[in-house]
Chains A and B, each alone.
Chain A
Amino acid sequence: LTVSKHSLVALALTCTTASSSAWQTTFRSGVEVVTVTVSVRDGNKVVTGLDAADFQVTDNGVVQTVSRADVDTVPVDVTLVLDTSGSTAAIIEQFRRDTQQIAALVRPVDRLRLLAIDTFAHELMPMQPAGGPVILGGAPSGGLTALYDTLAASLMSPLNIDRRHLVVAMTDGIDTYSAIRPEALRLVAARADAVLHIVHARSRFMGTPMYLPPDRRYALIPHNQRHFERVIWAPLDPSMRAAYLDLDENWLRLVAESTGGQLHGPTLVGTGTVGAFTRVFNEFRQSYVLRFTPEGVDRSGWHELKVTVPKSPRMTVRARSGYSR
């Protein structure tokens, strides 16, 4: 049996649950290493120069030994998710221009993939080395919004131990036609290796009142076509519409934060979204990839993670909320 060094590393680093399913590859190893992408800020400044000893990681409350803290040497896989559905019709051309600018920001060592949110979740461009042409001509547009489906699809990607995975989604934040419920997206996000950042690209409100009552100050607006239980009677007023949008924003914030990412915005498309991506990408590049071998905890089940920098408690540390085995 010949086993390459790379395979051994992969074997050691891959955190995979054994299963009898024919779909699964089973990895068995006495040593399993968990990787966690961590970004550290002091106020608005990204903190660099930390090493493994500066971090404290607890796994289900048990302090772990961080063996390595790599910075910037690990290439990044970027999945860019664009909302091209009908509710973004007014801003879709700007979205397309933004995508070209964003693609140019990604380093040659990194890779880029494009997904689109419409009635379906679409893969416009599979993961490929950055620097190549980004052609969005065939992008769907004008449909309903399978936002949760597309975000889940972006997060359920193969584990690649040599790279970090950053997902940046630009959307107006309103799901109208997903197959999965938001609770399912949260569970996926909690178990994903990717870090999800959502840029809430706000345009003019594009929701559709389904019925205008005689009073004419209210409209019944389905907040989410599938999850109609959250329908609201919304005043037809721009400032109150923010409250309407906040309902989905709260879900999206929870989802992003459980991966170690954030919800950004709302921002206007154009300079706002490109600027938001630039900040996210630069911070992600400077984030640390911590590695540890879990000790003193059960092998299976959900593992809640907490990452801190004990010597500087005021620093803001963002990392995924846990992992499962």
Chain B
Amino acid sequence: MRVTLPALILLAAAVLTSKVSGQSTPDAAQLLAQYDAGDYEAFTKESSALPDLGDFRRDLDRSAPRWIRAAGDARARDRRRVVAASVALEVANTNRDRWHEARHLVEWGCALQRTVFSGAPPHPAPAAAYRLWQLASIALIERAFDHVFLVGVPPTLNRDPDPGRGRTRNHLAHAIAALPDEPRLFLAFATAAEFASWGSDSPDPVWIEGERIEQAEPLAPDITTDARTARALTRRQTDRIYVAAAKSDTLWELADIFRGLKPVPFTYARLAGEPPIQAELHVRLGNTYLRLARPHLALPELEKAAAETADPFVVYLAHYFRGRAFEMLDRKSDAEDAYRRALDAMPRAQSASISLAALLFAGGQRNEAVVRTAESLRSVLAPDPWRMYQEGGGRNWSFLIESLRKALR
């Protein structure tokens, strides 16, 4: 058979095109196989090229059950179920820049496992991997600042008589139902309540709804700028009872949540290197007191936190918040010492560096302030627990996903 040169070129082009197109649109079966084989590098590269996460989720719906059933025995099927859920989770992480599509993959993975792992333990193997999957999923959601997806509108703020309507989701409830004795989930709940009280920059449906209302609603006359005015307004205008959720009441409720959290015994074996819980609770309660302008209540909590752990992240936060508390009490020398101790834990972190520099500059110690400031501007990549504070447990993502991968091998 004679093959002409132009035909050869066309054939080569077709092969190349098909290969390129195959690389840019990986299918679910391919990603499941890669992940199962531990080829994480190729998996991550391929999953970042997925053009449509909705299509991928539908592909998973078709491929994953078949792939799980094809495993040899029940134990292998349980393992493959967690693998499939982990594929969904890691694809969601790789595509965090498309979070509003990506988060459906997290829920897909959770639903896939709920049939087997719901209810009280003991769960079938691999329960350790399942626990890690749930913790990693929550870390990912926290990392994406999607606290509404995690807990819906939290009870501390929810004055809505119909909380079930459209926008409320509650991924954490699924995790707590499956792992009722997992203290980290309760910490995640409290942290989500904390951040829901903080607001979110994500274009959540809540905000989209706000946009719509903005256009539709007429002028409203009342605006309140502090809790006292809000409460006064509430007394006068009972139809606006929700104003009673004004800041200070809400934060006291949040403090109650943190105070009420007691570590429960671990049903599941903890991994070496897992970050502390109790010390972090003290730090977050301490910060809540600071937001309530109660530095004298904050200080004992922060001192307990610093004493209970060697985790530099928590130690930094404890001393950094102590610095803030001392500044509120006008104890400048103590504040300076606290900021320096924070920087001992995490050198070059910008938040304590700038806080210390401002304190020194205002006190006339200009030279050190200038040097500290210049260093902090050059050190924005240095880990800074305050800048990561709003991620909550999101800082644990890398640790948890590595542990999950190991548990699945």
Contact = CB atoms under 8 A, between A and B. Distances in A.
Contact of A120 (B226, B320, B324, B384): B384
B367 interface: yes
A210 B358 contact: no
A256 to B, nearest CB: 17
B243 to A, nearest CB: 6
A216 B351 contact: no
A121 B350 contact: yes
Given A121-B376, A191-B362, A214 B160 contact: yes
Given A179-B352, A188-B358, A188-B361, A122 B377 contact: yes
B370 A149 contact: no
A212 interface: yes
B225 A247 contact: yes
B387 interface: yes
Interface stretch (A32-40, A47-55, A153-161, A260-268): A153-161
Contacts, number: 210
Interface string A205-236: 00111111111111111100111111111111
A229 B248 contact: yes
Interface residues of A, number: 73
Interface in B15-67: none
Given A123-B377, A184-B358, A243-B223, A228 B369 contact: no
Nearest to A181: B327
A212 B357 contact: no
B293 interface: yes
A185 B209 CA distance: 36
Main SS of chain B's interface residues?
helix
A13 to B, nearest CB: 14
Interface string B355-369: 101110110111111
A79 to B, nearest CB: 11
Interface string A10-26: 00000011010101110
A24 B368 CA distance: 6
A213 B214 contact: no
A236 B352 contact: no
Interface string A73-90: 000000000000011000
Nearest to A216: B213
A325 B206 CA distance: 51
Interface string B377-407: 1101000101100100000000000000000
B366 A17 contact: yes
Nearest to A155: B361
A160 to B, nearest CB: 11
A152 interface: yes
Contacts of A247: 225
A184 B199 contact: no
Interface of A: 16-17, 19, 21, 23-25, 86-87, 115, 119-123, 144, 146, 149, 152-153, 156-159, 176-177, 179-181, 184-185, 187-188, 190-192, 207-222, 225-240, 243-244, 247, 324-325
Interface of B: 153, 157-162, 196-202, 204, 206-207, 209-210, 213-214, 217-227, 230, 239-240, 242-243, 245-248, 251, 291-293, 320, 324, 327, 350-352, 354-355, 357-359, 361-362, 364-371, 373, 376-378, 380, 384, 386-387, 390
